[in-house]
Chains A and B, each alone.
Chain A
Amino acid sequence: MTYIAKPKLHHPTLPANKIGFTRRDYEGKISTLCAGCGHDSISAAIIQACWELDIEPHRVAKLSGIGCSSKTPDYFLGNSHGFNSVHGRMPSVLTGANLANRDLIYLGVSGDGDSASIGIGQFAHVMRRGVNMVYIVENNGVYGLTKGQFSATADQGSKSKRGVVNSDSPVDLAALALQLGATFVGRSFSGDKGQLVPLIKAAIVHPGAAFLDVISPCVAFNNHTGSTRSYEYVREHNEPVNRIDFDYWPKREEITVEYPEGEVVSVTQHDGSVLRLRKLAKNYDAHDRITAMNYIQQHQAKGEVVTGLLYVDPDPEDLHRHLNTADAPFNALSAGDLCPGSAALEKINASLR
């Protein structure tokens, strides 16, 4: 834990975005996580993504459960709305909030313990319902906050810091999300912002249930040899299928050139924005849910970690469409809208006769 406040001073050439904010304006409190925790890098990636998308901080609601990962919303977007729920219950609170005010951007932040153990039921239903949100799991294979017990996503055969081998089979949250109907599914690595930041941006603009499984090493309890979530292991086994280039949104000059050139496919989304995917795996088609599921399983079996935009539905539906709700959020509906009077009631009754 760091006690020095981050100085307000910043680089003299730090640019402002279209709405006049610098990246630093999207920061939160100084992190209390262990130095070197992958979660902090994900926070930095969220900050970067929101800055690049010119998002007004007051339009974002951050929701989380319990865990080191669930603490992170305190460390970014200090001027946004926040709700820290009970362990594993973030998806339900998020669903409720989204129903009440569909105008906000919902950012659910959770851990593998929070989502794959205690909260797995909630996780399943929020995906099924297609709640318009970005759901990020900061996946380190352990319960970091409670000192490093294996979580439900830990790979079978991987070793804990004390040398204990995990015998249970792992939950693959990305595969699960695909199966449950999420309309945007990606996987990335906290140590690769070149891949992660565009993925977060794409997930934010995606008008449906967007899920990101972000591998995020726990330096304190899961960064040793024998772990499959260490910085070193993930770097060695990372198999990116594609990378997103953003042409549609203003971006800072990209500096990462870590991926080789590949074929580029453009995906025009519902709102007209264009996602440009640079294909890295030749035969990978990010539009096909079934292929995606197979591909992940096949590579997982080989011990590889498939990353990138795994699946996107360019024309997704969401919970509000399914429920045929009003376009205006609750808080904008007047008493007259909510209680349209006896004439309207008559009409409804008549239609049911």
Chain B
Amino acid sequence: MKPTDIRNPDYFHKVVDCQWACPAHTPVPEYIRLIAQGRYDDAYMINWYSNVFPGVLGRTCDRPCEPACRRSRVEDGQSTEPVAICRLKRVAADYKDDIRARLPQVPKQKNGKRVALIGAGPASLTVARDLAPLGYHLAVYDQDPQGGGMMRTQIPKFRLPESVLDEEVGYIENLGLETHFGQRVDSLKAVLAENYDAVFVGCGAPRGRDLEIPGRQEAAANIHIGIDWLSSVSFGHIEKIGKRVIVLGGGNTAMDCCRSSKRLGGEDVKVIVRSGYEEMKASPWEKEDATHEGIPILNFLVPKTFVHHNGKLTGMTFEKVKAEYDAKGRRRLVPTGEPDHLYECDDVLIAIGQENSFPWIERDVGIEFDEWGMPKVDEVTFQSSRPGVFFGGDAAFGPKNIIWAVAHGHEAAISIDKFCNGEDVRERPAPMVNLMSQKMGIHEWSYDNDVSLDQRFKVPWNDVRATLKNIKLEVEKGFDPATAFKEAQRCLNCDAQTVFSHNLCIECDACVDICPMDCITFTDNADESDLRKRLNAPATNLTQDLYVSEALKTGRIMAKDEDVCLHCGLCAERCPTGAWDMQKFFLEMTHAGPSCRDKHSAPGRKAA
């Protein structure tokens, strides 16, 4: 193998599994350490710069970082639980002081550029957050009376209290936005006619999929589209539901529908899903939460009819199916032949999917759409086929989640800033990277490298009898500071990188002998597949790189499997020559502003 080029920012970035997996590349271990030190404000600000809504995301994020967490690959025995990265983010938000003084200032002197943002969901708000401090004039349109998008209209209050959302949406609205709330945009042409320098479309995926089976029309009064119903609940237009409720669908929307029903008078609430339990789209913890509230989930039932009596819904029939797999491992649902099942009910909520819809975009304004009615959007620049019109969030590539909307927003803001400065939007800025030794003394390191053996701590809940009575009472209480500290200590500090200097190594084997995970091998060089087999411990996880040095004095190389390294620093601690050093890798994405432009490459914001 060729020696590893650690100057490539991606190399060490990949080792920080959580940060690499986070769409917005939040510096996770950095904020977790700050939480352990009780520096909640600093932890919050790191998050705020990266993901804009720490308090919201600390409660609701889809947390792609957690399945990636190294902790789940190295733990002994049955426990393979990642660090509670998401709920630690909430800790920063819960215990911070007033941080308003640390928010960016809006310059008095505007830069003369005007940008329209359609929709006030997380995607648009991120664009606004990034562009407002640069002096842009931003006009935000939303049909709803308040900003926040689906964070406000869809996510139930018992998962996300309104005060948390108001605070974080407020930080952005206070950056001097021109808001047009309660105003639906019906024509993109009309917007374009106002000569904005750029337009960002962040209108989400607002249409819930319907289920056209017999009885749908007749019983319509008690059949509701899940996201429309949730939004009405959110705005207080709906306060009650029947005693017996069927929720159709296996995604997170279905989970929010059933749990909300339970709080609005539903006594016998059940979720009925076509697929098996494992294949359901809902996150495992959402399913657990529903189960915890006594809501059964019935699987392998395909809806056949809405049963009604004189136009009054009385139940639904389902065909029982089973999964069969063909030679290629593809799943097919085939009828079991059992007679149809009938479930009685008073109301049905349909939560079987969400779609984009752009009725307000004229098809002759230069924006190309594909055969599925989706705009053609560049995956890197987020620009549509009409220069100056950008898409992001659920509007760009279909429904995802908040953190993806934020990540899109950051990238779109860069494109808009470059576009408005006459630069090529395809030239993307490199991230800001810093690598710094953590050695403080002969045996002192600036991070706590004594790996804790604790298992994941549980977030305490409010009493379920109380939460089921009040749709606004938050279910989770969040960690107290003492438990937060213990959970933070489970983090392995994957950003404390093992950096090897081949010219210092005397090949004494001390690092090989001490490494608890058998990561390090000195051996003859070979190509990667061969080398992976010859290491002291097999390196079978191909998603994790091998760190390979240049040839040493004996002609051998050092090869380290990054996969299960604990970042304990024992290699550096036991190395007599300092050939290993633990260095903190801090990577922050470059956001819109002078440092993203080609012409003035000023350094990015300093690390905390």
Contacts and interface: CB of A to CB of B under 8 A. Distances in A.
Interface stretch (A1-9, A53-61, A336-344): A1-9
A232 B575 contact: no
A44 B534 contact: no
Given A8-B453, A9-B516, A219-B506, 13 more contacts: A1-B443, A2-B443, A2-B573, A4-B569, A4-B573, A6-B570, A7-B453, A11-B518, A11-B537, A12-B564, A37-B508, A41-B513, A193-B509
B506 A36 contact: yes
B75 interface: yes
Interface in B503-543: 506-510, 512-514, 516-518, 521, 523-524, 534-538, 540
A91 interface: no
B284 interface: no
Interface string B489-512: 000000000000000001111101
Nearest to B576: A36
A144 B32 CA distance: 43
B310 interface: no
Contacts of A255: 521, 523, 534-536
A3 to B, nearest CB: 6
A65 interface: no
A235 interface: yes
Contact of B516 (A2, A7, A41): A7
B167 interface: no
Given A10-B517, A12-B564, A36 B574 contact: yes
A1 B510 CA distance: 13
Contacts of B536: 255
Contacts of B73: 12
Contacts of B570: 2, 4, 6
Category for how many chain A residues contact B: 35 or more
A38 B508 contact: yes
A193 B512 CA distance: 11
B516 A36 contact: no
B385 interface: no
Interface residues of B, number: 41
Interface in A5-26: 5-14, 24
Most chain B CB within 10 A, of A2, A9, A44, A217, is at A9
B451 interface: yes
A40 interface: yes
B346 to A, nearest CB: 51
25 contacts: A2-B514, A2-B573, A3-B443, A4-B449, A4-B450, A4-B569, A4-B573, A7-B516, A9-B75, A9-B451, A10-B516, A12-B564, A13-B540, A31-B514, A36-B575, A36-B577, A44-B513, A217-B508, A223-B506, A231-B508, A232-B506, A255-B535, A255-B536, A256-B523, A258-B524
A32 to B, nearest CB: 11
Contact of A191 (B453, B509, B574, B576): B509
B113 to A, nearest CB: 53
Contact of B553 (A6, A219, A232, A258): A232
Contact of B576 (A8, A10, A13, A35): A35
A13 B574 contact: no
Interface of B: 73-76, 443, 449-451, 453, 506-510, 512-514, 516-518, 521, 523-524, 534-538, 540, 553-554, 564, 566, 568-570, 573-577
Contacts of B512: 44
A239 B435 CA distance: 43
A247 B73 CA distance: 34
A18 to B, nearest CB: 20
A193 B453 CA distance: 31
Contacts of B506: 36, 219, 223, 231-232
A11 to B, nearest CB: 4
A34 interface: yes
Contacts of B540: 13
A261 to B, nearest CB: 15
A22 to B, nearest CB: 11
Contact of B566 (A9, A35, A217): A9
Contacts of A43: 513
Contacts of A332: none
B509 A6 contact: no
Contacts of A223: 506
A35 B507 contact: no
Contacts of B513: 40-41, 43-44
A4 B568 contact: yes
Contacts of A4: 449-450, 568-570, 573
